Chain A
Amino acid sequence: MNEQRPALAISSLALLVILFLQIPVIVVMLASFSETSYLTIPPQGWTLKWFEAVLTDRIYLDAIKNSLILAVGSTAISMVLGVAASYAIFRKMVPGSEALTSLLMAPLIIPSVVIGVALLQYFTLVGMRGSLLVLLIAHVVITVPYIVRSALASLSGIDLAVEEAARVLGADGLTTFRLVTLPLIKPGLVAGALFSFVTSMENVPVTIFLAGPRDTTLPILIFTSVEMGVNPSVAAVSTLLIIATAVALLAAERWTGFHRFV
């Protein structure tokens, strides 16, 4: 059979578009090493001073710390709650599994900014505004759909006979889940966890309405400081995020074949 490859024009156009996707990344990284506070191409003089500025700045360090606490915390909570709920839905333990799935996925469909203002009004009413706990709850709401989606997708790929075999051999429900089901859905869950982590780590539309002055996160800090103009230390902290993202993506790809789950 004649296996035709895409025409040269199509391939070149596609490669240009892929280059277009990387351009802001490349520019930010160049800007962060540039001596001048305004970026020129090629950069005039190389320096690490912006990185030093970021890594010795309390405001940045606190924001990074808050972001990591929120991302790790909300992903862990979403993982436990989300996998438990998905398993109950998948095994049809309760009626109305379709409606339940829609409810669990709903935070993905409602625009984030709407969730943000709804939570702002709600937490103001109950007098809980301005604490990391409120942000943690909000981040669980916005990250849990990613866990549920990957858990349900992974579970649907499991042959139920494997679970039944374990039960026949005398394992109780929890043991079966731990030793048989969980290892089978693990790659999907790792992918879901990475999505959840990234979602929490980059969230602005919900966080900005709820974060008090003491619990600013990294994206909020970048978002607000950009309003005062282009600042090379923003480029430096962005470069750190770019490197962390690239490492995480490659690691996830190596361990789980991440691209299959996107």
Chain B
Amino acid sequence: MTSLRTGFLLLSPLLFVLLAAFVVPLLLLVPTSFQEYRPGQGIATDAWTAQNYARIVADEFYREVVLRTIGLGAAVTLCCLVLGYPVAYLIVRGDPRWRLPLTLLVIFPLMLNLVVRSFGWIVLLTNRGVVNNLLIDLGLIERPLRLMFNLTGLMIGLTHIYLPFMVLMLVAALQNVPRDVEAAAATLGSSRLHVFRAVTLPLTAPGIIAGSILVFVLTISALVTPRMLGGPTYQVMATLIYDEYMQLLDWPSGSALSFALAISTILIIWISSRMTKRWAGLA
């Protein structure tokens, strides 16, 4: 059979594109990350150094940005979980007639341009924005609250952006919980809260974990929303990479930070998928 030849014929165009415009560019970034940037002179190609990586943990400014990114990832994930679970629960267990419209209302923001969604939050949160104007008109505050260029703005914006992913993961998980098991627990005298805690929650754990990993990874690698709502001063890893490439022209530091970010996301996804597989084997 010539199935092998057909296979190569079908695969090679895409493999060529990915090799030439994805794999090779990433590999070429490796040497850059070990080169030295000399302010005013540019990138020195005559010496190798691991300083760009060491700085990420040793330098106070870098460490703050990295810790802020991780903390933000954890906090946004938690918010998405807490806010997303009731929505998923209503979609799966609520009136079936409402299922489709509610699902579409969750998908819609997801399909909407990220820049538009972030812009919406700027209109709401800026100093003379909708929220501040409303609060001042109501007499609740006298001077505008600082809702942007800080943690508050980023938390609100990022939670809004990634919440739909969490809801969709939880919907899938809840749909797999057999109603009979819950009904059995209820028949045996469990209260609704106890049924939820002892039956529903553990059975949706795989969905909770998958959704949390997804939201965490997306949050720590986000560029657009942190930049638009955080401005040039409140930095996270992705915005720092952006500045190092576009403003400071310190490509070696930028590429080292890029690898730190990429390797973290790959490790998180790899470890979690291995753990999930092991649990599935135990069940």
A interface, CB within 8 angstroms of B = 1-7, 10-11, 13-15, 17-18, 20-25, 27-28, 31, 38-41, 81-82, 84-85, 87-89, 91, 93-94, 100, 103-104, 106-107, 109-115, 117-122, 125, 137-138, 140-141, 144, 173, 194, 198, 201-202, 204-205, 208-209, 218-219, 222-223, 226, 230, 234-235, 238, 241-242, 245-246, 248-250, 253, 258-259, 262
Query: Interface size bucket, B side?
Result: 35 or more
Q: Determine if B160 and A113 form an interchain contact, defined as CB atoms under 8 angstroms apart.
A: no
Interface string of B85-129 (1 = CB under 8 A from A): 011011101110000101111111111111111111111101011
Name the B residues within 8 Å of A230 (CB-CB): 122-123, 126, 129
Contact A41 B262 (CB under 8 A): no
Interface window among B1-9, B45-53, B54-62, B202-210: B1-9
* Contacting pair B133 A15 (CB below 8 A): no
If over half of B's interface residues share one DSSP class (helix, strand or loop), that class is named, otherwise mixed; here it is: helix
Chain B residues engaging chain A, CB cutoff 8 angstroms: 3-4, 6-8, 10-11, 13-15, 17-18, 21-26, 28-29, 32, 83-84, 86-87, 89-91, 93-95, 100, 102-124, 126, 128-130, 133-134, 160, 163-164, 168, 179, 183, 186, 192, 220-221, 223-224, 227-228, 238, 241-242, 245-246, 251, 254-255, 258-259, 261-262, 265-266, 269
5 A-B residue pairings within 8 Å (CB atoms) = A6-B90, A24-B119, A40-B133, A202-B114, A205-B223
Cross-chain contact A17 with B245 (CB below 8 angstroms) = no
Task: Given A23-B120, A230-B122, answer yes or no on A238-B164 (Cβ-Cβ < 8 Å).
Answer: no
- The reply to whether B14 and A81 contact each other, CB–CB distance below 8 Å, is yes
**Contact A28 B120, beta carbon cutoff 8 Å:** yes
Known pairs A21-B106, A93-B6, A93-B10; list 15 more (Cβ under 8 Å): A2-B186, A11-B86, A20-B83, A21-B108, A28-B116, A91-B7, A94-B7, A103-B18, A107-B18, A113-B221, A121-B28, A121-B255, A230-B122, A259-B107, A262-B168
Q: Which residues of chain B are near A10, meaning CB under 8 Å?
A: 86, 89-90
A246: contacting residue among B90, B108, B246, B255, CB under 8 A:
B108
* B258 neighbours in A (Cβ, 8 Å): 111, 113-114, 117-118
Q: Shortest 4 CB-CB distances between A and B: which pairs?
A: A24-B120, A93-B7, A111-B221, A122-B25
CB distance from B180 to the nearest CB of A (A): 8
Q: Which residues of B contact A242 (CB under 8 A)?
A: 112, 116
Q: Which of B14, B18, B21, B227 has the most CB of A within 10 A?
A: B14
Chain A residues, Cβ within 8 Å of B116: 24, 28, 222, 238, 241-242
Most buried by B among A10, A87, A258: A10
Contact A241 B113 (CB under 8 A): yes
